[in-house]
Amino acid sequence: MTDTTTRPSGSDTDIKGPGYRVWFDAPARTVHFEGVLRLSTSEYKPIEDLLDRVLLANPALALRMTELQFLNSSGINMLYKFAIAARKKGETEIKVHGSSNIPWQGKSLPNLKKFLPTIVIALD
């Protein structure tokens, strides 16, 4: 059963919660992250599921983080797991758009290359 507090209206491509939104723009093949994500490890499950579905269905995709002000260590770990899954899948082009004006992004996003050397990190 869908948890409507995490995934309103039963949507599995638009995940909202207090202060954040993660959504998939299919035509652009881009997952957008917005707001502040301070969830517990288990609360990231809907976002992990979205990333897994998008990864399986798309040979190339982007993650847009420019509007994500904060991501806690559980969320960063989720991104690292996503990078590992992409490496295992192979032949997937992933580009991450971030902002050098958001301190955690400049520190944590480049570390994705340790898990997926082919990932492209673009910090504006």
The pLDDT averaged over each successive group of 10 residues in the chain (124 residues) is: 36 88 96 97 96 94 97 97 95 95 95 96 95
- pLDDT for 11 equals 59
Which run of H or E residues covers position 113? helix 112-115
Q: How far apart are the first and last CA of the chain?
A: 39
- pLDDT for 4 equals 33
Strand pairing partners for 90?
Answer: none
Query: pTM, whole model, 2 decimals?
Result: 0.88
| CB-based contact 30:63 (threshold 8 Å) | yes
Query: Which residue, among 40, 46, 43, has the nearest Cα to 12 in the 3D structure?
Result: 46
| Pairing, β 30-37 against β 20-25 | antiparallel
